Amino acid sequence: MHELSITQSVVEAVADRVGERRVTVVRLSIGRLSGVVVDSVRFCFDLVAEGTVIEGAVLEVDEPTGHCRCRDCAAEFDVDDPIVLCPRCGSADVDVQSGRDLRIVSVEVTTACATPAAAPTANRA
Amino acid sequence: MCDTCGCSDGEQGVRLVEFGNGNGHDHHDHPHTMLLEQKVLARNDELAAGNRAWLAEREIHAVNLMSSPGAGKTTLLERTIRGLIGEVGISVVEGDQETLFDAERIRATGARVIQVNTGAGCHLDANMVATALRRLDPAFQSVVFVENVGNLVCPALFDIGEHSRVVVTSVTEGADKPVKYPHMFRTADVVLLNKIDLLPYVDFDPARFTEGVGLVRPRTEIIQVSATRGDGLDEWYGWLRTRHGRSVLST
């Protein structure tokens, strides 16, 4: 269940970056060849986020397909299966160029305004 | 910066996306999109790079030893420590969820050992290994084995600062393990097929196993060993000597 550690890493990394801001959306990219089960990350997310600035945030996950190049016949192809075989020549000697990503892409945050409209004008000086 | 009231959060690299809160300047939270674009495991990877640098200063070769539970990692280590005694200094970081059993077995060989109990954790990470290495204080130009938690899934994803990844499988586990657990096998620098003394008694096809390793990690060397009987250990020691020599020579 490494997804628990992965999710903890996400929450810690986001918390480090956003400071006191409230996070409403977390966007991840979890490649289909990454070895991470997205459903498990979703399962862990709310639990791990509880009590942090991320609590209540929506998790959005992009799952890019793997892109590979065969070292034997130079074919380029997309793949979702972790056992990567060239569809043209059957070789397993394949350079996986993308699809193993495990990235925090962006977050939506809200920041309370420093000068609320209701505050008296004199206080703004 | 907020167009309405001019407030700014002063954050470098933050892209502001105006959601428009009408004309009334009705205060308010500012919704922003912050582009983070960072690896999820960036912190672990930084710590792993730190471990690697720490080891390099001491010309130490670190091996991440991974397998399912019961494949024979500890027996292999006991045998390896005794087999290379006087030639290669070996110390060990033992990873298990609970107990000191494996550390006690290693200590009985005379080697230095630190046990890391991960509790609920299913793998070692770079932070745990960083702490363990500093307590272990391994000798200059030695080899450190990090015996990971027995698990063919989770340890595969975590760089701990090792130089070599060794995956052990035993013939009692079934020949289909490489294709069932491709993430583990695809990062192996060498695969040890252990317990080959049991081959006459189990339904295990070594050719099928080799084919499976080839599918997920082409050209990876497979060494057949019996850590109890001693088969193949010279070949394994030879592999280790070569890798260790590279660490010593490269620094």
* Tens-place pLDDT, residues A56-75: 999 999 999 999 999 999 99
Same domain for B203 and B179, yes or no, is yes
In the prediction, which pLDDT does B78 show?
Answer: 98
How many Å lie between the alpha carbon of A39 and the closest alpha carbon of chain B? 16
- Letter for the amino acid at B85? I
How many Å lie between the alpha carbon of A11 and the closest alpha carbon of chain B? 9
ipTM score for this prediction: 0.81
In the prediction, which pLDDT does B139 show?
Answer: 96
CB pairs under 8 A between A and B: 120
How many Å lie between the alpha carbon of A73 and the closest alpha carbon of chain B? 15
**Spatial distance between the Cα atoms of B217 and A85, rounded to a whole number of angstroms:** 11
Q: Rounded to whole angstroms, what are the CA distances from B184 to A104, B16, B41, B167?
A: 23, 41, 17, 8
Same domain for B32 and B48, yes or no, is no
**Spatial distance between the Cα atoms of A83 and A98, rounded to a whole number of angstroms:** 14
Which helix (H) or strand (E) element contains residue B177? helix B177-180
Dump pLDDT digits (tens) for B193-240: 999 999 999 999 999 999 999 999 999 999 999 999 999 999 999 999
| Cα B28–chain centre separation | 48
How many Å lie between the alpha carbon of B26 and the closest alpha carbon of chain A? 6
Dump pLDDT digits (tens) for A76-111: 999 998 889 999 999 999 999 999 999 999 999 997
Same domain for B120 and B205, yes or no, is yes
Residues of chain A positioned with their CB less than 8 A from the CB of B34? 17-18, 106-109
Q: Give B198's DSSP letter.
A: G
- CATH number, residue B188: 3.40.50.300
Same domain for B55 and B110, yes or no, is yes
**Spatial distance between the Cα atoms of B246 and B60, rounded to a whole number of angstroms:** 10
**Spatial distance between the Cα atoms of B125 and B144, rounded to a whole number of angstroms:** 16
Write out residues in chain B with pLDDT < 70, as ranges: 1-28, 249-251
Same domain for B105 and B19, yes or no, is no
In three-state secondary structure terms, B165 is strand
Residues of chain B positioned with their CB less than 8 A from the CB of A108? 31-34
Same domain for B167 and B206, yes or no, is yes
Same domain for B21 and B110, yes or no, is no
In a domain? residue A92: no
Residues of chain B positioned with their CB less than 8 A from the CB of A106? 33-37
In the prediction, which pLDDT does A111 show?
Answer: 79
Number of domains in chain A: 1
Residue B157 tokens read as 């994803």
**Spatial distance between the Cα atoms of A83 and A92, rounded to a whole number of angstroms:** 8
In a domain? residue A9: yes
**Spatial distance between the Cα atoms of A106 and A25, rounded to a whole number of angstroms:** 8
Residues of chain B positioned with their CB less than 8 A from the CB of A124? none
Same domain for B237 and B144, yes or no, is yes
Residue of B nearest to A107 (CA): B34
Residue ranges of chain B whose CB lies within 8 Å of a chain A CB: 2, 5-7, 9, 25-44, 121-123, 125, 153-154, 156-158, 179, 182-183, 186, 214-216, 218-219
The domain containing residue A32 runs over which residues?
A: 2-65+99-111
Same domain for B23 and B94, yes or no, is no
**Spatial distance between the Cα atoms of A101 and B214, rounded to a whole number of angstroms:** 23
**Spatial distance between the Cα atoms of A86 and B157, rounded to a whole number of angstroms:** 24
Q: Are A71 and A39 in contact (CB under 8 A)?
A: no
Which of B40, B128, B220 has the most A C-beta neighbours within 10 Å, making it the best mutation to test the interface with A?
A: B40
Residue of A nearest to B17 (CA): A108
In a domain? residue A36: yes
Contact across the interface for A21 and B2, Cβ inside 8 Å: no
Q: Are A104 and A8 in contact (CB under 8 A)?
A: no
Which of A30, A60, A83, A98 has the most B C-beta neighbours within 10 Å, making it the best mutation to test the interface with B?
A: A83
Number of domains in chain B: 2
Same domain for B160 and B229, yes or no, is yes
- CATH number, residue A14: 3.30.2320.50
What per-residue string of b and e applies to A37-63 under the rule 16 or more CB within 10 Å gives b?
ebeebeebbeebbeeebbeebebebee
In the prediction, which pLDDT does B16 show?
Answer: 37
The domain containing residue B10 runs over which residues?
A: 1-37
Q: What is the DSSP string of B175-210?
A: TTHHHHSHHHHTT-SEEEEE-GGGGGGS---HHHHH
Dump pLDDT digits (tens) for A10-35: 999 999 999 989 999 999 999 999 99
Nearest alpha carbon to residue B7 among A114, A125, A18: A114
In a domain? residue A70: no
**Spatial distance between the Cα atoms of A81 and A60, rounded to a whole number of angstroms:** 22
In a domain? residue A117: no
Same domain for B52 and B152, yes or no, is yes
**Spatial distance between the Cα atoms of B80 and B75, rounded to a whole number of angstroms:** 9
Same domain for B1 and B101, yes or no, is no
